[in-house]
Amino acid sequence: MGNDRLVSIHPKAFNESAMPDPQNQQDTLGPLAGIRVLSIGSSIVGPWAATLMGFLGADVIKIERPTGEYIRQLYPLQKGMSTCYASTNVNQRIAELDIKDPDHLAIVQGLAKDADILVENFRAGVGHRIGLGYQTLSQSNPRLVYGSSTGWGDVGPMHDRAALDPHLQAFTGFGSLNGMPDSKPQMVRYIHMDPSAATFFTGLMLLGLIEQQRFGHGSWVKTSHLASGIAQQMSRAAEGLLTGKSVDRLGAAASASAPNQCFCAADGRYIAIACDRQKQWEGLARAIGEEELTADPRFMTNVDRVEHRDELAQIVAAAIATKPSRWWVVQFQHESVPHGFSMSFDDLVNHSQIVDNEYLVEAHPPHMGPMHLGGIPWRFSHTPAHITRRIAIPGEHTDEVAKQGFGGEREAPDPTDQSDITLPLQGIKVIDATQGYAGPFLGLLLAEGGAEVIKVEPPEGDWARRLAPRTATGNSALFEAFNRNKQGVTLNLNDAAGQKELRALVGDAAVFLEDWGPGVAQQRELGYETLAGDNPGLVHLALSAFGEEGPMRDHPSSELVIQAMTGYLRTLGNLDEPPIRVGADIVATCTGAMAFVGVLAALFHREKTGCGQRVAISELGAMMSIRTQQWAAMTNPDEWLGNSYCTNETDGPHYGYQTKDRAVFLTPSTALTQQDFFRMLKEFGMYDEFSENPELMKDWWHSFGIGFQARHAQPLWDKYLRNFSSQEALDILNRYEVWAIEFSDLLELMDHPQVQALGIVHAQGQNRYVRAPWITPWGLPEIRKARTRA
């Protein structure tokens, strides 16, 4: 831990018995120590998935073509190198090899023979075509976990298209949930879909690794940008699929609870306030001096408040406007009302909560200078994850990898088991004592992997049952979606009998999930050290809002508050106007997915060693990690070019490009030539006017999509594209090597042929559910509805 090139994260709340054993080398290197990962993908999804496994201790080698991969071109630059590229390729060796050269191809195939996991995110069929497909590589390495993440899936009418983050925001319905009720859909001005998809992808490959470790099977595991993009909107999709109601844009408001939005205080500062639970609403009413509102028939229950959201918002807004924000912070802290503010990079970099939990760390690429990255999102009690401070120079390890491969000797793997493949987590017992959003979503992902999940609820039931909208069962759509495929028990954990019964349940479990907050498990005599005394192999996942250190460790939180604190409210609308939230519950689903990765890594280590451990994660830490490309871009950019990936907070809303009937999004492919671009402009009738602007002519490749000239050229594109239907425009754009896609509505998308081809939505009786975002040899378990009553 004294190595100044390593950022090692250790929990601070445990005694020495819970800390890593310095004599155990495997303990000090992360739960994936000894695992070899070969990354042959490009852009963000594949490389950042490999980076996450590198954080977890895997030995990662990345292969790039000698000319460099796509995102080396993306702005902003720091000392001439893309910050997006650097922050995406951490904790790995980087070699440049030309796979069109037979000798170089043989080197990569040799690496695949020695790898445990291969990561690729090419278009469907590309890996096979270049000699690096699963069928080829599994012949020499039958235990290989071959992970594929395509843009649109490997089957269906769109399988051969390319996609970048904004295309998925447009097509998955993600953009359709963002914006004011009476305005057009907006895209988030950040590459959120890429790192979030990488997180789901990592979890899928770890499922494959556990399948290999437990049952001896190699496998080809597949996901897609499309499937993961829909999965992180599962709660909003459920509102329509399970109730038949529309799924709307609500500005900063929430669909599931009220009041839950941003209000302007007397000092002009907007404060995010969220009342998901009845006690929080009652606390807010006391804080604003309006206790009588709790007896008003319009506002008595959460469903009542959602139905009268606008009336309630007017009352709360009038009260908040009478005092400055500091007054309200004091009152809300007294009453335990979740609240927070929209924060910028400068707000965060020295914020006590961020610093104390190491949610921002400084790396030192030798070719770029200091750069901020999102910190490690997990805290493992026995196998700490780490970030290497020194990010590799592109091609730095080419000779080493070509000559030595992964290097070192290791024991020959056990022979491949020829028995029937089975669900990776079959026979794994999980006790899920979480409520609300992120924890139950984690429990669902484990159930989709085959685990036996037992949900523990208090006598009054999970508070998420009382969210809106309600289904025919009386439960909320979110509760039904996140808690299917689970058994259930009711326990009162505030008394000794309930605590004793839970301890007995956990006694033979592999995994225990709780979201009680720092210190609560110990107060109930259900802390890790106590439970591990009965069950040394237990993996205990502790989920908190803000982390287990710092001044906010005990504060309540919500989806909106974490979105605000991690800067997402700065990526929609205009900075000088009322804030707009991301309409999907991304904090819930992305935290759940990141926790899924942590639990699976700990389970893999358990399978190898028999040892369990405590894994801590927070919503704040997960989202700070997801935003790592943003923090890198903001550190020390060479230029401020506006509409580039991560330096466009001051841009106006991104609505895509408007045609006659709907918006589309377009961006150039690397194959687009200047000659073809100008031909395309002529076909749209816009060449003459475009050519009058010398800056656009000079930087033509950056004049649309995510290019830094796109904002300046937007009115010109809109003027001419409005003469065409979306389909007519897409036909022309796709003919000229431009990657283009139409905007979709989330619920309409559920019946799209591409979604159907991938089996993303399954029916159970009259109900339809979004499934886990993967296609595997072992499939998915049959759907079982959520328990009707607690």
* pLDDT value of position 418: 57
* pLDDT value of position 618: 99
Asked if residues 76 and 647 have their Cβ atoms less than 8 Å apart, the reply is yes
How confident is the model over 736-784, as pLDDT tens digits?
Answer: 989 999 999 999 999 999 999 999 999 999 999 999 999 999 999 999 9
What does the buried/exposed string (b/e) look like for 79-89 if buried means 16 or more CB atoms within 10 Å of the residue's CB? eebbbbbbbbb
Whether 132 has a pLDDT exceeding 90, the answer reads: yes
Token readout for 768 is 């339809």
Rounded CA-CA distance 272/745 in Å is 27
Whether 283 has a pLDDT exceeding 50, the answer reads: yes
How confident is the model over 509-560, as pLDDT tens digits?
Answer: 999 999 999 999 999 999 999 999 999 999 999 999 999 999 999 999 999 9
User: Which amino acid would we find at residue 256?
Assistant: A
Whether 416 has a pLDDT exceeding 70, the answer reads: no
How confident is the model over 231-260, as pLDDT tens digits?
Answer: 999 999 999 999 999 999 999 999 999 999
Confidence tier at 28 by pLDDT (50, 70, 90): low
What does the buried/exposed string (b/e) look like for 618-647 if buried means 16 or more CB atoms within 10 Å of the residue's CB? bbbbbbbbbbbbbbbbbbebeeebbbbbbb
Alpha helices in 340-429 (DSSP H): 345-349, 352-356, 398-404
Whether 308 has a pLDDT exceeding 60, the answer reads: yes
How confident is the model over 105-130, as pLDDT tens digits?
Answer: 999 999 999 999 999 999 999 999 99
* Domain topology for 424-624: Rossmann fold (3.40.50)
Confidence tier at 73 by pLDDT (50, 70, 90): confident
Rounded CA-CA distance 657/741 in Å is 10
Rounded CA-CA distance 375/344 in Å is 17
For the chain, give every domain's residue range.
424-624, 657-742
Whether 3 has a pLDDT exceeding 80, the answer reads: no
Bridge partner residues of 542 (DSSP): 514, 616
* pLDDT value of position 424: 98
How confident is the model over 674-684, as pLDDT tens digits?
Answer: 999 999 999 99
The answer to whether the bond into 459 is cis (omega within 30° of 0) is no
* pLDDT value of position 209: 99
CA nearest 632: which of 351, 369, 358, 367? 369
User: Which amino acid would we find at residue 535?
Assistant: N
Confidence tier at 417 by pLDDT (50, 70, 90): low
Confidence tier at 153 by pLDDT (50, 70, 90): very high
How confident is the model over 562-621, as pLDDT tens digits?
Answer: 999 999 999 999 999 999 999 999 999 999 999 999 999 999 999 999 999 999 999 999
Rounded CA-CA distance 739/735 in Å is 10
Confidence tier at 651 by pLDDT (50, 70, 90): confident
* pLDDT value of position 2: 33
The region that residue 263 occupies, defined by phi over 0 for left and psi between -120 and 50 for alpha, beta otherwise, is: beta
CA nearest 168: which of 44, 36, 2? 44
**How many whole angstroms from its chain centre is CA 391?**
23
Whether 496 has a pLDDT exceeding 90, the answer reads: yes
Burial of 777 (0-12, 13-18, 19+ CB in 10 A): middle
* pLDDT value of position 453: 99
Rounded CA-CA distance 208/202 in Å is 10
Nearest-5° Cα angle at 338, 502 to 230 = 75
Burial of 727 (0-12, 13-18, 19+ CB in 10 A): middle
The answer to whether the bond into 384 is cis (omega within 30° of 0) is no
Whether 362 has a pLDDT exceeding 80, the answer reads: yes
Confidence tier at 301 by pLDDT (50, 70, 90): very high
* pLDDT value of position 642: 67
How confident is the model over 695-718, as pLDDT tens digits?
Answer: 999 999 999 998 888 888 999 999
Asked if residues 221 and 204 have their Cβ atoms less than 8 Å apart, the reply is yes
* pLDDT value of position 19: 35
* pLDDT value of position 622: 99
Rounded CA-CA distance 533/356 in Å is 29
CA distances from 607 to 71, 293, 756 (A): 37, 54, 36
* pLDDT value of position 7: 35
Rounded CA-CA distance 106/197 in Å is 30
Whether 24 has a pLDDT exceeding 60, the answer reads: no
Whether 15 has a pLDDT exceeding 70, the answer reads: no
H/E stretch holding 665: strand 663-668
**How many whole angstroms from its chain centre is CA 12?**
26
* pLDDT value of position 647: 75
Whether 38 has a pLDDT exceeding 60, the answer reads: yes
CA nearest 173: which of 742, 759, 777, 753? 742
* pLDDT value of position 22: 32
The answer to whether the bond into 76 is cis (omega within 30° of 0) is yes
Confidence tier at 650 by pLDDT (50, 70, 90): confident
The mean predicted confidence, pLDDT, of the chain is 94
Q: What mean pLDDT do residues 94-103 have?
A: 97
Whether 486 has a pLDDT exceeding 60, the answer reads: yes
Which residues neighbour 722 within 8 Å (Cβ) at sequence distance 6 or greater? 658, 659, 660
Alpha helices in 336-437 (DSSP H): 345-349, 352-356, 398-404
Which residue carries 């604003």 as its tokens?
288
Q: What mean pLDDT do residues 440-468 have?
A: 99
* pLDDT value of position 411: 65
